[in-house]
Amino acid sequence: MTTTALVTKPQAGDDLSIWPGSTTRLSHGGLSVGGVDLSEIAERFGTPTYVLDQGEVRERCRMYRHAFPDAEVLYAAKAFLSRATVRWIEEEGLGLDVCSAGELELAVTAGFPGERIVLHGNAKSPHDLEAALRLGVGRIVIDSPSEIARLAAAVGPEGHQKVMIRVVPGVAAGGHAKIRTGTDDQKFGLSLTDGQAHHAIARVLGQPQLELTGLHCHLGSQITTVKPYFVALRRMVGLMARIRDTHGVVLTELDIGGGHGIAYRPGEPALSLTALARRLRAELDESCAAAGLAVPRFIVEPGRAVAGPAGVALYRVLAVKHTGDQTFVAVDGGMSDNPRPALYGVRYAPRLIGRHSVAATRTATVVGRHCEAGDILAADAELPGDIRPGDLLAVPVAGAYQLSMASGYNLVGRPPVVAVHDGHARLLVRRETLDDFRARDVGL
């Protein structure tokens, strides 16, 4: 599929800064991404549909490799995973961070090397651990004391598995309370303040079949400043020095996690990757020199920052309702394909595409089709005043934590994912259908 529409000059206030870099304006009021008209994608694949710019994903992988040339970069699969993205990530030289046997098996069956995969999770099931050992993951991140004995038993006396320990560094960071994971009041990791981390380290070092290679921490998501990272880094290096002094063991890896914030609406702050890499490199060198430690191999785990800006969600308007001074624009998707606004108040900037409107803009609330008052996709959205049923809306920055968190609510069916690149569109993940629901429902 290619587009032949002419490109027009930008309109006043027409900000495409948060869209994929390949985005261009078309003469009929539409947009193309990856050289493909988004309106044509909606006609061909229906709506809702997720569009993923392959070139943008790859370019963001390269940005991380360039910013952290001496570090190991792991893509956080929970943001979005498919067989195609597995291949792109592998070809761009990144490793992979998975949180379940499902993510792990999909990656390995798509050809990703097991030794370049790290398994996370605060409550790993026996199936998760069995799959990790069977498929030869590079490292398993221990998140709780009970995992140590379970993993050692699963490895067996003659086996060997590299592990890291997730430490809670006591740093509060992140865009919302529900996505902050660096403090003691949440479910992840082992605390520095109450001694859990120290106790777990000693237990792991007492298991000869488990090789402790390093420490891991993750502060949260949507972090837009550098300071929380270097505060956490100092504390982690301090812990590594204490491990050396207490146990005579020098750890060789330090994983500072991800959570790198991106802008969902024009003008919002985003984390500077260049500033992050420069400050962390300098802080790591300085802290290790002060502690008399060799500089460990550094690891970062971007997910949202790679996939998020590469995605666009397409919806068809079903109804427009004016209630008092409010305008509700209802679309054919909602919290079943994007629960993030309902979970923690994420704000998006939808845009009318497919026709050129000269109407003045007005503030509207874009809502979904589900039987929940909280089914809101975009509050305070600026849309043309003549928005009407049948119109097509495109929502940028839709590549992460939308389809991966989608549900089967109201049996609507999860949308497909379409990749665009060099003027061509191809289906990566098909639309979920009634036949899929019937196949799972075996009770009749």
One of 99, 217, 288, 371 is an active-site residue; which one? 371
Separation of alpha carbons 34 and 422, rounded Å: 6
3-class SS at 139? strand
List Cα–Cα distances, 257 to 250, 282, 297, 404, in angstroms.
Answer: 20, 17, 13, 19
Q: For residue 235, give the amino acid letter.
A: R
DSSP string, 301-322: --SHHHHGGGEEEEEEEEEEEE
Q: What is the DSSP string of 329-397?
A: EEES--TTT--HHHHH------EEESS---SPEEEEEEE-SSS-TT-EEEEEEEEETT--TT-EEEEES
CA pair distance 299, 351, nearest whole angstrom: 37
Please state the separation of Cα 339 from the chain's center in Å: 14
DSSP 69: T
Residue labelled with tokens 């666009």: 312
The answer to whether 371 is a known catalytic residue is: yes
- Residues 424 and 104: their CA atoms lie apart, in Å, by 29
Q: Which pLDDT value is given to residue 174?
A: 56
User: How much is the pLDDT for 187?
Assistant: 65
The tokens of 164 are what? 């890291």
Q: How far apart are CA 95 and CA 404, in angstroms?
A: 19
The answer to whether the CB of 339 falls within 8 A of the CB of 308 is no
Q: Residue 4: what pLDDT? A: 37
Instruction: Classify residue 113 as exposed, middle or buried by CB count within 10 Å of its CB (0-12, 13-18, 19+).
Output: middle
For residue 331, the model assigns a pLDDT of 98
Q: Which domains does the chain have, with CATH numbers?
A: 24-53+309-440 (2.40.37.10), 54-308 (3.20.20.10)
Please report, in tens digits, the pLDDT of each residue of the chain (444 residues total): 444 333 333 443 479 999 999 999 998 889 999 999 999 999 999 999 999 999 999 999 999 999 999 999 999 999 999 999 999 999 999 999 999 999 999 999 999 999 999 999 989 999 999 999 999 999 999 999 999 999 999 999 999 999 999 999 877 555 545 444 445 566 677 988 888 899 999 999 999 999 999 999 998 888 999 988 988 999 999 999 999 999 999 999 999 999 999 999 999 999 999 999 999 999 999 999 999 999 999 999 999 999 999 999 999 999 999 988 899 999 999 999 999 998 888 889 999 999 999 999 999 999 999 999 899 999 999 999 999 999 999 999 999 999 999 999 999 999 999 999 999 999 999 999 999 999 999 997
d(CA 151, CA 149): 5
